[in-house]
Structure 1
């Protein structure tokens, strides 16, 4: 899965008709001063993204590097609204030239889903395409194997910490599952929240399960998703069951704030930024939102989130975060290709990663990892990185079922076997 909200692809909702409320979440930005004013259409690029900050930084850099070019940008601060709007625009022929997407499959604005519908330009022949790793190609290609997107960030999920709040509490970052439960108990006794949780924003529901299944499922068995597709594995008969039970164990042990289903992402980040919560199991780019609420001088760090009592067995979900593609019916395809070439540059990769609190997807010598990114890079180097589960799922229905079912699970209206049965049924329907 918001990018002055996080930049992770984790927010999938079904494609609905755009509402007035959704449209109200949009903001627009024209070109910089001195750019084209629309007299030369070949110098005008239309652009859309979910989350303004990092995208706007790259747009401005592109305009500066290309005098006379205007980028007419539209930003939507809510990921679900963005997905709804873009899908509607693509269907009606009114979509922008370049737009943000989600990697792999898993939601209606993901690369494979859009590619399967013929909505993306084939970019396989672009010079930057050769820079993509095999893993990046897998989530940047349509079902026919054509590269149709460029990755710009690498995201990860782990325990994100407010360093000052943690230091004040006198507690240490847990390195094993038993330590997690002890940590939660100690934090509660001190009157502080161990991990803030905002399940009212449905995309947040999946983050803890993704963190847990990295060590319980996908680390020990990297081929699990393929085995599901081959009919040799299922959610219900795997360690996904243990992961979901541990999610509830955290809830019942007081690890989270009260009534997480009534708390949204912004309030969750407010708790973290203000130190009312010591941490949050989240995408690292969420720190950009927490900083808005944090006192000056507050720093944040990340540690892998453990699911077992073997500290050496902890894996980290790591994946391409943000991708961009070109509308197959772009009104200015050549300028769109030029913008994509710029996104592949070291300058743009470092700029986008820094502004979004992520790591760059492509090599760049100008990016410096901090206490958030370094543990992720260490996990990759040590071979303890796994993919985000949804990027290997056959379609968006599985994630949609996952999101809504966890909210029901926390309401107490369904149990873990029901959640996993629903997910298995959704998976089977899309194979």
Structure 2
């Protein structure tokens, strides 16, 4: 399924570093009708949106909770939703794939029906596919689109004189040349489990989902499997990258923060990652450092390269929200051209909905070009029938890199999880 020009995972993606903070906005007393509670994984973009919303709505108080680790956030919100203590508005994940994804929460009746909102009527079919519950009701507003590609430290790359690879053979040669110059080609931090999926998603875009957009449906129909598809080639190539010295030493012992430090400091020339990760890389980068992105090749022909592009961030309203009217008003702001441009800029993404004022940079332009040229695919997990498939993939990749399992075992586990989730 291709993404139309209005569409924008992450990612999802995602930030790491376990920490939690709370901010209550204004501290003066106010009526209950003017108080909104909100939770998000990752503070920066959400806080910027909250501040802009409060400025446009004087007197409104927004009480926020931010959790910087995705897994902790998912667990905390799930617990709060079950116990009736969840905030009015919260960030979710599009489609399916984890316990805080739209379809999973929607199936459990935890989300407010937003089908009647003005912005909901203009959603494309692709956007609706990842923002609706199993009953077909719109329950989330899409805020950003993101992509998984080769993210480059421009200054570090220029210093080596190496060119960005556009084919698989060029990738392997690039790794060899980078190593000879004393730098890492691609930083990798598999200690943070969610990072394990990014290289496979980049490879399968060109090997599986680009050539065959119906692959996931064929799996659901019992006509295809991970083990008997080009997923095997993708995972074999993942190991080939490791064995060719493309990554830093001991990826399973390196977390997301250290991975982004390697990229930001120029000790690694690139990383196959969600584009929003650049925000973390900038924290350790010398002043003036810039970043760019190219699709990560998986074949011998540059024209066969697809880019995984998908809705990255979505927000929904608690079905038991204490202030549903104000919650819907906040989502209307997120859906507005102003809200879309603001959140995209702050998160290093592109807007999911039309936003004429948004100006794409060297990271975002390739995303929009891939969408325009029909060379984009969805993130695989957004079509998977349940979160167990992704969970199995994440943990199994770590075991694969430890040498405790092989590729057929990994894919067999994923097939089993897929079958049990159908």
Q: TM-score, normalised by structure 2?
A: 0.96
In structure 1, what is the equivalent of residue 309 of structure 2? Answer: 318
**Is residue 384 from structure 1 mapped to residue 378 from structure 2 by the alignment?**
no
Distance (whole Å) between structure 1 residues aligned to residue 176 and residue 194 of structure 2 = 27
Distance (whole Å) between structure 2 residues aligned to residue 143 and residue 10 of structure 1 = 23
CA displacement 1:316-350 (0-9 Å, x = unmatched): 00000000000000000001011111111111100
- Matched position secondary structure for 1:191: coil
Find the partner of 1:196 among 179, 187, 208. 187
Find the partner of 1:186 among 177, 185, 189. 177
- Matched position secondary structure for 2:393: helix
In structure 2, what is the equivalent of residue 241 of structure 1? Answer: 232
In structure 2, what is the equivalent of residue 18 of structure 1? Answer: none
Distance (whole Å) between structure 2 residues aligned to residue 111 and residue 339 of structure 1 = 18
Find the partner of 1:26 among 20, 31, 41. 20
In structure 1, what is the equivalent of residue 79 of structure 2? Answer: 88
Find the partner of 2:294 among 293, 303, 315. 303
Structure 1 position 38, deviation (Å): 4.1
Matches within 5 A, 1:300-379: 300-379=291-370
Find the partner of 1:227 among 209, 218, 221. 218
Distance (whole Å) between structure 2 residues aligned to residue 422 and residue 79 of structure 1 = 23
- Matched position secondary structure for 1:74: strand
- Matched position secondary structure for 2:273: strand
CA displacement 1:47-91 (0-9 Å, x = unmatched): 000000000000000000000100000000111110010000000
Assess if the C-alpha contact under 8 Å between 2:13 and 2:274 holds in 1: no
Distance (whole Å) between structure 2 residues aligned to residue 131 and residue 304 of structure 1 = 29
Distance (whole Å) between structure 2 residues aligned to residue 268 and residue 37 of structure 1 = 42
Distance (whole Å) between structure 2 residues aligned to residue 222 and residue 350 of structure 1 = 30
In structure 1, what is the equivalent of residue 403 of structure 2? Answer: 412
Distance (whole Å) between structure 2 residues aligned to residue 195 and residue 9 of structure 1 = 19
Distance (whole Å) between structure 2 residues aligned to residue 363 and residue 202 of structure 1 = 33
Distance (whole Å) between structure 2 residues aligned to residue 326 and residue 8 of structure 1 = 21
Distance (whole Å) between structure 2 residues aligned to residue 378 and residue 356 of structure 1 = 19
Assess if the C-alpha contact under 8 Å between 1:11 and 1:202 holds in 2: no
- Matched position secondary structure for 1:365: coil
Distance (whole Å) between structure 2 residues aligned to residue 142 and residue 9 of structure 1 = 19
In structure 1, what is the equivalent of residue 414 of structure 2? Answer: 423
Find the partner of 2:12 among 9, 19, 35. 9
The two structures, once aligned, show a CA RMSD in angstroms of 1.3
Assess if the C-alpha contact under 8 Å between 1:7 and 1:356 holds in 2: no
Distance (whole Å) between structure 2 residues aligned to residue 63 and residue 10 of structure 1 = 26
In structure 1, what is the equivalent of residue 197 of structure 2? Answer: 206
Distance (whole Å) between structure 1 residues aligned to residue 193 and residue 87 of structure 2 = 27
Matches within 5 A, 1:264-283: 264-283=255-274
Distance (whole Å) between structure 2 residues aligned to residue 279 and residue 132 of structure 1 = 35
**Is residue 103 from structure 1 mapped to residue 94 from structure 2 by the alignment?**
yes
Q: TM-score, normalised by structure 1?
A: 0.94
Assess if the C-alpha contact under 8 Å between 1:350 and 1:366 holds in 2: yes
CA displacement 1:237-295 (0-9 Å, x = unmatched): 00000000000000000000000000000000000000000000000110000000000
Assess if the C-alpha contact under 8 Å between 2:114 and 2:120 holds in 1: yes
Assess if the C-alpha contact under 8 Å between 2:37 and 2:89 holds in 1: yes
In structure 2, what is the equivalent of residue 17 of structure 1? Answer: none
In structure 2, what is the equivalent of residue 16 of structure 1? Answer: none
Structure 1 position 31, deviation (Å): 1.7
Aligned residues: 413
- Matched position secondary structure for 2:149: strand
Structure 1 position 130, deviation (Å): 1.7
Cα gap change, 1:92 to 1:38, in 2 (>3 Å): farther
Structure 2 stretches lacking a partner, 5+ long:
1-8
CA displacement 1:5-24 (0-9 Å, x = unmatched): x9523579xxxxxxxx97xx
**Is residue 215 from structure 1 mapped to residue 206 from structure 2 by the alignment?**
yes
